[in-house]
Every structure is written in C-alpha cells, then in structure tokens.
Amino acid sequence: MAREFSTVGVVGLGTMGAGIVEVFARNGIDVVAVEISEPALERGRATLKGSTDRAVAKGKLAEADRDALHERVHFAVGLDALHSVDLVIEAVPEHLDLKQRIFAELDRVCRPETILATNTSSLSVTEISVATSRPNQVIGIHFFNPAPVMKLVEVVRTVVTAPEVVADVEALCARLGKVDVTINDRAGFIANALLFGYLNHAVSMFESHYATREDIDAAMKLGCGLPMGPLALMDLIGLDTAYEILDTMYRRGGRDRRHAPVPLLKQMVTAGLLGRKSGRGFYTYERPGSPVVVPDEATPLATESALADGARAIAKVGVVGSGTMATGIIEVFAKAGYEVVSVTRGMEKSAKVCEAVKTSLNKGVVRGKLTEADRDAALGRISWSATLDHLADVDLVVEAVVEELSVKKALFASLDEICKPGVVLATTTSSLPVIDVAMATQRPADVVGLHFFNPAPVMPLVEVVRTIRTSPEATATARAVCAALGKTGVVCGDRSGFIVNALLFPYLNDAVKMLEASYSTADDIDHAMKLGCGYPMGPFELLDVVGLDVSLAIQRELYLELREPGFAPAPLLEHLVTAGYLGRKTRRGFRDHSHR
Ligand SMILES: NC(=O)c1ccc[n+]([C@@H]2O[C@H](COP(=O)([O-])OP(=O)(O)OC[C@H]3O[C@@H](n4cnc5c(N)ncnc54)[C@H](O)[C@@H]3O)[C@@H](O)[C@H]2O)c1
C-alpha cells in the first residue's frame, strides 16, 4: 500500500517553490508553505495568487476551485511550522551549504517518518541527504519550470534511498498528474544535463555578438519548434539559478568547459539582472515577475522600412540546383510573386523539378491554402533552363547544388562572370564556410548565406549568413527578401552550424552519450525533453528523423571547426552509422521502425 500524503511542506517560495505549492494544492493536498521572512512570504503568496488568477482568467480553473486551492495553503515563516507534514520539498537557492543546513534542521523538526525531498537541479542529493540522520528517506523530486504546467518530474534516488520511499514518491507524482522518470544521482539528471550546455552556448553566441538575442531565440523557436528561445528560457529560469546550476555541473560533471558559466552571466547576476524575477535579464519585462517583454534600447526596429533600409530591389531570382531544397525554394519565391529562373544541369532534370513544384502546389490547392489561379500564376512566373547564361539579368541568385565545396566554388566563379553587377549571390550551404564560396568570386561583398530549412515551403526560418566580407547592403537585401517571402530571417556570423545546427546537434550528441553511459533509456530521455522542456520531439526521435549519418556529419564539422572536446561525436553514433542504422530512412536507427 502506498503511503498517504495528506499534508506536504514546501520550503522557499521563489520561482519553483510557489509553483510547487500550486501543484499540490490543486490536487487536493494541504500545503504548509514556508519562507525565510515576512516579505519573502508575501512575495510567494502574491506569486501563487497571480498564477491562479491567470488560470481562472484563461478558463483553466474555476473560481470556486481557486478559492478552495488557497484554503489548502497555510503560509508561515520558519521551518518549525513543518512539524507534522508527511513530506517536505525544499526549493531554496542552489547552494549546497544552505540546503545541508535546511535538511539538518528539517531532520530535527519533522516527524521521523517524514520524507525529505529536494528540488535541486544539479547538486548531489546524496550530499544533501547525509546532513540528516535519515538519508534513506531523502530523495530528489525535480519539478520543471513552470511547475503547474510542465508534466515531467525527475525522481532522483541515491544509493541509500529506501525502495519504498521511491515507490511512494512515484505514486504521489501520478496523483499529481505528472509523468515521472526515476534516475540515479548525477549532476543535472537527464534534462538539465542535456539543456545547460546548450543554454550556455547560446549565451556565448550572444556575448560574442555572433547574433542578436532576438535572432538566437527566433532561430531555435522557428528552426526546431521549441516553445521558447534559449535566452528567454534563461530569463525564466533565473540567471542566478542558471549560474549556480552551470557552476555545479562544471565541477561535478567532469569539468566540461561547455558548462563553465559564460563570463557575461556572472556579470549580469552581480548587476542584479536576474531575468523575469527582477524585471530584467537578457530582455526587459514590464515589472519584476511579469512574463511580458517590453522594448528596450536593444530592441530592433521591426518595421518594413527598417528591414528594407539599404536593401536592393529584387524582382527576378535565379535558383540553381535540382534537389529537394532547390525545388522548395523555387516554389517559395514563385508563390511570393518573384519571377524565377530555375537552372539545372539538363532539361530532363528541369522537367523533374517542374513536376515536383507542380505536385507541391497542387497539394496546396487540395488543402485549401492556394487557389487554382494562384497556383497557375506561380507556375507562370517560373522559367526553366539548363544554362547559367539565363542568369545574366537576375537580381538574386540562390545556389542549392550538392554540398561539395569544389562544386560550389566553380559555380560561383561562373556566376561571377555571367551575372550583372549588384546582384546578391546566395548559397544555401548548411555546413561549408560561406567565405570560401565568396572568395571564388571577384565580388565577395555581394555574397551571403541563405540557409533555408527543409521543407522550404513550410519552415518559417531562414538563416542569413554574413561573412567578414559581406556588405551591409547585401545583408539588408537578404533580410528584406526573407520578410517578403513571409519567413523570419535571422542574421548570424559565418561559423560552422550557424545558429540552429550549432546549438542543436551537440545537444543530440550529448543525449547519445547519456544513453551510451547507461544513465537512462532512450524512452525516458525523450520523455524528459518533451515533458520537462516542451520540446516537440525527444532527441532520439529527432535523430531518427534527421538521419544518423547526417547528424554525425554535422557533429564532425562542429568538432573540427571549434576543437571543443565536448563536441567529439559519440562513439555509439559512429557505430550505428557504420552498421547502417541511419534512422527512419533505413527503418532502423535508435529505434526499430520496420513495423510502422
Ligand atoms: N528556476 C528553475 O527553472 C528551476 C527549475 C527546477 C529546479 N530548480 C531548483 O529549485 C530550487 C529553487 O530555485 P528557484 O529558481 O525557485 O530559486 P529562487 O531564488 O527563485 O527562490 C528561492 C526562494 O528560497 C527562499 N529562501 C532562501 N533561504 C531560505 C530559507 N532558509 N528558508 C526558507 N526559504 C528560503 C528565498 O527567499 C526565495 O524565495 C533550486 O535548487 C533550483 O536549482 C529551479
């Protein structure tokens, strides 16, 4: 029989604690909510009220249920109020000595059978547990932010946690409507171990002016379907908490440099820029605690005239190539009203591309996204050619040929001879340095990267890559074109992986390493990222879709360019590729897809 939890205590009512109180009270459990001082208690009370009021306003909670919820919560200053609860969850700042002190005190105050739990993200539950005389009743219950929304709970057992305590806490999670994964005590558990290297890397991109905060966040939201960008997420987590988590992970997790907090983080924390909770972090908020971002001095002007500032007029576009990307890009430009010249290596190929574009446009008609007249007009704007000479009078060329530097360089050298002056020359490469391609021409200032995502007609993001030789006008033109296509163009420097792949693939590679180390299963890791972080797919699902060979190639490029030891491809990934398990396309990758 699972233990009954009728009253629980929550210590610390900050970002996490207030949310955890709400989770319990919503599920009919009485809560004793404890803070260090009256003002802190008031803040916690206000956070709970604000959150439940929002839930009522959104129609997610009835008024009567909200009132009943509040009646279940008893607020108090000091740990003594916890003398008769069945379980305590501690959610104070991420400092080992503070947590150890609180656990020693809880051990003294609470009944002998009370379970003591920590919500730590990165500290050792084992080290916290030995501050008590009951380490077998100490466990990690790691909720995700915001606790009332995120479905996942990581249950962390130490080597001495009693099995019945683990079972009781698992049953409690189910009662709270949460999905739990039970794991051993390792820095960052599943989700944070995979998340924080990525977050820190995003901060370093911002710190080095590789891209703006808006562009980094938009890239990950639109390129990967994440619920929020990494810098907005840092603000939500709290930069002080994020700093402590990184610092602990660095020290506990084998001194991986990717977890060494980026210096900017420390400076922001020292300056009191803690994120949402202080009203200012990477972004500025309406007021402390508010989720509403307000413009500040770094906010870009989003008006069309600002986007078009310095941009050249583009009416006619050449697209070179006959693969998936070229086909999608031709469709995107033609639908947006541009005159398009498609150039392939022969009329047979042109006929195939033409067929593919027609099929895709017809699908749009069937789905009601396009009228027949629009389809015919789009097709009427495309001319098909097998010679580059037809690009003599276009305003923009988008190259989407095979991903081989020698081929692309030769093509750009030819374009340089054929195209009129002032044309913007764009490559869709996803892994080659754009500057190499640019230097094959006599006009590197006019060369940019335009990295579309697959399928181009669907994906809303384009990475605009500027090299050290790209002119501001060429960049402005590329941005304006993206806007005219209805896409979001994000500008970044010319480094391997641009924004999205540089942030995405090391995380996927880390997931493979975690699996290889037998810390958790592919199912639990996928669960953790989907239910804990709101990712649309778990890392193993995504790897199987993208293709393990493609993922390995990208990861190798990143490793070669940045020489970051943590980017070395996971041996398991290499072995699966060698074995021919490439993902869905070969019906087997991390999972067996032969029956689906
Ligand atoms: N922020 C996140 O996204 C997140 C997610 C999961 C887990 N966590 C973990 O949750 C814990 C709390 O983090 P947070 O972000 O909520 O921190 P926070 O700074 O927002 O809140 C901490 C609260 O603890 C209170 N406190 C400090 N000392 C206390 C004491 N002696 N007794 C009672 N209350 C005390 C503070 O007044 C503050 O309100 C940390 O261990 C953190 O790693 C954080």
pLDDT tens sequence across 69-116: 999 999 999 999 999 999 999 999 999 999 999 999 999 999 999 999
**Which residue out of 122, 129, 192, 431 is catalytically annotated?**
192
| Amino acid identity at 555 | Q
Query: Which segments in the chain show pLDDT lower than 50?
Result: none
CA distance 165 to 170: 9
Q: Which ligand 1 atom is at minimum distance from the Cα of 122? A: 43
Q: Which residues, listed in sequence order, are joined to residue 399 by a DSSP beta bridge?
A: 320, 427
Q: Is 93 in the pocket of ligand 1 (CB under 6 A)?
A: yes
If you measure from the C-alpha of residue 16 to the centroid of ligand 1, how many angstroms do you get, rounded to a whole number?
Answer: 6
If you measure from the C-alpha of residue 333 to the centroid of ligand 1, how many angstroms do you get, rounded to a whole number?
Answer: 50
CA–CA distances in Å: residue 356 to residues 236, 368, 384, 552: 44, 19, 13, 29
Nearest-CA residue for ligand 1 atom 18 is: 14
Backbone angles phi and psi of 119, in degrees to 5: -100, 15
- Given the structure tokens 């007009």, which residue do they identify? 377
Q: Which ligand 1 atom is at minimum distance from the Cα of 244? A: 43
Q: Is 14 in the pocket of ligand 1 (CB under 6 A)?
A: yes
Q: Which of these, 461, 464, 411, 419, lies nearest to 438 by C-alpha position?
A: 411
Nearest-CA residue for ligand 1 atom 38 is: 14
From 121, 142, 178, mutation site for ligand 1 pocket: most ligand atoms within 8 A of C-beta: 121
CA distance 198 to 258: 8
pLDDT of residue 307: 62
If you measure from the C-alpha of residue 37 to the centroid of ligand 1, how many angstroms do you get, rounded to a whole number?
Answer: 14
CA distance 304 to 296: 19
pTM for this predicted structure: 0.93
Is 564 a known active-site residue? no
Specify the DSSP element, H or E, that contains 507.
helix 500-516
Decide if 15 contacts 237 (C-beta within 8 A): yes
CA–CA distances in Å: residue 265 to residues 38, 188, 245, 282: 30, 19, 12, 10
User: Can you tell me whether residue 594 is helix, strand or coil?
Assistant: coil
Is 192 a known active-site residue? yes
If you measure from the C-alpha of residue 219 to the centroid of ligand 1, how many angstroms do you get, rounded to a whole number?
Answer: 30
Q: Which of these, 553, 582, 573, 593, lies nearest to 512 by C-alpha position?
A: 573
User: What is the spatial order of strands in the sheet that 461-465 belongs to?
Assistant: 382-385, 339-343, 316-320, 396-399, 424-427, 447-452, 461-465, 488-492
Would you give the distance in Å from CA 72 to the centre of its chain?
Answer: 36
Q: Which of these, 561, 535, 442, 444, lies nearest to 223 by C-alpha position?
A: 535
pLDDT of residue 308: 65
Is 142 a known active-site residue? yes
**Which residue out of 154, 214, 399, 557 is catalytically annotated?**
154
If you measure from the C-alpha of residue 524 to the centroid of ligand 1, how many angstroms do you get, rounded to a whole number?
Answer: 26
